[in-house]
Amino acid sequence: MNRGKDQLRRGLAVVGLCVSSVVIGAPHAGAVIFQSTGDPGYNTSAPAGALTNSGWQYQGLWLNFLGTPIAPQYFITANHVGGTTNDLFLFNGRPYHPVAAFKTFDSDLAIWRVQETFPSYARLYSSSEETNQHLVVFGRGTQRGAPVVVGGETNGWFWGAPDGVQRWGENDVAAITNLGVGVGDMLRVIFDGNGGSNECHLSDGDSGGGVFIQEDGVWKLAGINHGVDGEFSNAVDATVFTGALTDRRGLFQQTGSGPSDWISINGVLPIPSAFYSTRISANLDWIYSVIDFNLGRDLPTPTTLRIGSNVLVSFVSTTNRVYFVQQTTNAVDGEWITFANNVPGTGGSITVVDPNVASSPTRYYRLGFAQ
């Protein structure tokens, strides 16, 4: 989908869905709606059980939005939320001072370098198979407002009062869509009721929040919240509104900035609205060009020790990093051969073995990031 077809509203609290729990006309219920409760404080603490360590621990406060540390001295957020080096990034209750910003013409991403060092940071989702994957998303926008009623049926909910409370929800990636120059690939996530009891939508204030998907058993950062479908209008009094809709049929949706840029939404089956998150996997080259530019403490020089016929290669690792170790007999123009791959960082010293090479000609060793 592109901007010529549907208008996106940027600046996104997590609004949840479980249709059977809806109380018609109840204003300002919690941002995530469950069968068991309408408590606005629900899902305002870290997910547990199967969702433990699914990204909540990596969310920090940037202005009135969220950001995610992705390297010892870097965090990522949505570019359109703004910010300067005079602002503070709060992570685990501690302030971090930005010293530089890195932006790209290809997406709505911004990476900020901070003066201090983060104690932990998220790993990045590298697969290109996000479609149909289950996700956990974080935001701090509005509560759920009153129901949107079309033809006597509740088709969703208006955005309610902003409260700035961090919440989480679940959903599934419906598709990958490109929104054109300067925006690029997006994870498109629809509010269709098929994502489980924690299914959610986004609203004003959720921009910059992280989307996490499991890869190799680890929850990794797969998207940064960008925008939602809207605005909408009804056919009765032409009231313009924003909302989280399970069905857009019977409404008009804005497609541009002009007064006549509206289309009528019709169809046989329900047409839910969606939110959009900038796709991390499509921007990995740029991201790594920023966060790996200065090696510093994150990629130290390895040390070597000969023991019998083997060479032991040791280095100080960082948690949430995965390394490879290579060797060559010619550091100028020789081929570098990987002999240890996908070595997870522990935060301490790691030793890998290059076997049966102690009697070989002089060898050189280097580290790299496998992920």
- Kindly report the backbone phi and psi dihedral angles of residue 84, in degrees, each rounded to the nearest multiple of 5, phi listed first: -140, 175
CB 238 within 8 A of CB 254: no
- How far is residue 10's CA from residue 62's CA, in Å, rounded to a whole number? 16
- Of 236, 255, 285, the last residue of a domain is 285
Q: Quick one: 306 and 270 in the same domain? A: no
Is residue 296 exposed (0-12), middle (13-18) or buried (19+ Cβ within 10 Å)?
exposed
| Residue 103 domain-assigned (yes or no) | no
Q: Quick one: 302 and 280 in the same domain? A: no
pLDDT, residue 77, reads 98
- Residue stretches of the chain with pLDDT short of 70: 1-39, 195, 235-237, 293-299, 331-333, 358, 371
Sign, Cα dihedral of 135, 244, 107, 139: negative
- Of 237, 258, 285, the last residue of a domain is 285
CATH number at residue 194: 2.40.10.10
Q: Quick one: 272 and 342 in the same domain? A: no
Structural domain boundaries enclosing 236: 8-62+124-285
Q: pLDDT of 87-101, one tens digit each?
A: 999 999 999 999 889
Residue 18 CB contacts under 8 Å (≥ 6 apart), including other chains: 33, 34, 35, 193, 197, 199
Angstrom distances, CA of residue 320 to CA of 112, 209, 328: 19, 19, 27
- For 333, other C-beta atoms within 10 Å of its C-beta total 6
Name the helix (H) or strand (E) containing 195. Answer: none
- Of 233, 260, 285, the last residue of a domain is 285
- How far is residue 54's CA from residue 48's CA, in Å, rounded to a whole number? 9
Q: How does strand 65-71 pair with strand 60-62? A: antiparallel
Q: pLDDT of 185-220, one tens digit each?
A: 999 999 987 767 788 999 888 899 999 999 999 999
Q: Quick one: 270 and 340 in the same domain? A: no
CATH number at residue 317: 2.60.40
